[in-house]
Chain A
Amino acid sequence: QSALTQPASVSGSPGQSITISCTGAGSDVGSYNLVSWYQHHPGKAPKLMIYEVIKRPSGVSNRFSGSKSGSTASLTISGLQAEDEADYYCCSYAGSSTGVFGTGTKVTVL
């Protein structure tokens, strides 16, 4: 069970849109519509931003959206804001009631 692959860093200017990819295998991302995304500010608890590929928990801004194509899931942040600067992790169900996180992406707001 290998970690899902994410770019180490993504950056954008305020107001722009950025997309973070999350590439897995046929046994995880590619097999289930059970990909979630977490925002993690250092020193704080991770925050669930997207679940089941496209769903947003109550209270999460609609500037965050998710999608999936084959074995790659994506998180898009539109209208980038300074407060969006954080680490982002994807996570996928991997069968047999197990899950795997991504390698993490540091988002920098320029």
Chain B
Amino acid sequence: QVQLQESGPGLVKPSETLSLTCAVSGYSISSDYYWGWIRQSPGKGLEWIGSVYHSGSTYYNPSLKSRVTISLDTSKNQFSLKVSSVTAADTAVYYCAREISDRTTFSFESWGQGTLVIVSS
């Protein structure tokens, strides 16, 4: 059974770059599936940030596209998220997840437990 685990700094300063990693076990990320990042800001709903296909193709939320980079590291079986020029609005619990099938339907079946990132000086 696939397992996902987010990791990264819990505190990031405004204007800096937020960097998170999602370690995957139980499945090779280069084999198949779409792998995504979703976040939830305090008191708000879920927001899709972006996804990466096992081939390395990436897809981003248009509202975040200019600041977001998602990439695969197949040697470590993990994928990462970078959000540049962060502000307090980027404070959120960040989740990594895997879709239920090999085509993108935005049906994320497997999730990490989430990691809280606070943007503050």
Distance between A81 CB and nearest chain B CB, rounded to angstroms: 22
**Of B63, B104, B111, the contact of A46 (CB 8 Å cutoff):** B111
| Cβ-defined contact, B46 with A40, below 8 A | yes
Q: How large is the interface on B (under 10, 10 to 19, 20 to 34, 35 or more residues)?
A: 20 to 34
| Cβ-defined contact, B108 with A46, below 8 A | yes
Given A45-B95, A46-B95, decide whether A102 and B45 contact each other with a Cβ distance below 8 A.
Answer: yes
Which positions 70-105 of chain A face chain B at CB distance < 8 Å?
89, 91-93, 96-104
| Cβ-defined contact, B59 with A97, below 8 A | yes
Q: Give the chain B neighbours of A62 by CB distance below 8 A.
A: none
A–B pairs, 22, beta carbons within 8 Å: A1-B63, A36-B107, A38-B46, A45-B113, A45-B114, A46-B38, A48-B100, A51-B105, A51-B109, A52-B107, A57-B100, A57-B109, A89-B45, A91-B46, A91-B106, A92-B106, A93-B104, A93-B106, A97-B59, A98-B48, A98-B61, A99-B48
The 3 closest A-B pairs by CB, nearest first: A51-B107, A99-B106, A45-B111
